[in-house]
Amino acid sequence: MSVSRFTGFASCVIAAWMGGLTTPVSASRGEATPSQSTGLVAITTDHPEVRASLDRLFAGSAAWRDALAAIARTGRRAVIVTPDQVRVVDAHGRPDQPFDPNVLAEVQPLAEADERVNVVVVIVNVDLLETLHARNWRRLDLEADLDRILAHEVYGHAIPYLLSGHLSARCADPAPGQRPTEACAIQRENEVRSQLGLGRRVDSGLNGLALARRHDF
């Protein structure tokens, strides 16, 4: 099973099943980690496992809380969905395709024609993560890995777009030949990891996850 694209930037165009993601997503769909200072929602999801992870990140990371408060004041937001909630739009007009079931997570900013970004879609394959952990199930390991994935995808990739409101704010994964710990997204991920005691990520693969102890990636 290939999961090497865990840290990859989404080159495809994602069409979320919710529709209308360029406008704020209704809190009735399931809201998570509101800014306590503004009462506005910077991240939304309707998945209970993701919501619980967002609660842990909010409780344990001051950097996370500060970023969400700043985003909430702008009206921008991240929407976290699962693969069954999105379709991949083909740029050449071919039929839409389902999201790759072998990918753990990806991020897609929804940019306007002038490259402004108000919404970033984060796709997290919770079912795949649970499958990878099923061989030697430990609830705490699963929860910690979900926290690590969200720290990377949301704090590492999505939040820079939302703070800036523009595609130019891309925070990238390691470039060829670059040390992983020098890459923007991994540096940001490690900031949150350190505040939650989740270890430091030092490579661009999956070895920083607990599931790597039981799988050969």
Q: For the chain, what are the domain ranges? A: 4-139+159-170
CB atoms within 10 A of CB 20: 10
pLDDT of 184 strictly over 70: yes
Region 113-129: mean pLDDT is: 95
Region 110-121: mean pLDDT is: 94
Structure tokens at 161: 């777009």
Percent of the chain with pLDDT over 90: 61
pLDDT value of residue 181: 94
For residues 195 and 60, is the Cβ–Cβ distance under 8 A? yes
The C-alpha R_g of the chain, in whole angstroms, comes to 16
pLDDT of 126 strictly over 50: yes
pLDDT top residue among 169 and 87: 169
pLDDT top residue among 37 and 192: 192
Angstrom distance (rounded) from CA 179 to CA 31: 36
Average pLDDT, the chain: 82
- DSSP assignment of 5-48 equals GGGPPP-SEEEETT--TTSPPPGGG-EEEE-TTT--EEEEE--H
pLDDT of 44 strictly over 90: yes
pLDDT value of residue 48: 95
pLDDT top residue among 212 and 22: 212
pLDDT value of residue 214: 63
The pLDDT tens digits of the residues spanning 46-67 come to 999 999 999 999 999 999 999 9
pLDDT value of residue 134: 82
Would the CA dihedral through 32, 35, 38, 44 be positive or negative? negative
Angstrom distance (rounded) from CA 137 to CA 194: 24
pLDDT value of residue 149: 97
**Residue the block writes with tokens 């991949």:** 88
Per-residue pLDDT band at 105 (split at 50, 70, 90): very high
Angstrom distance (rounded) from CA 210 to CA 16: 30
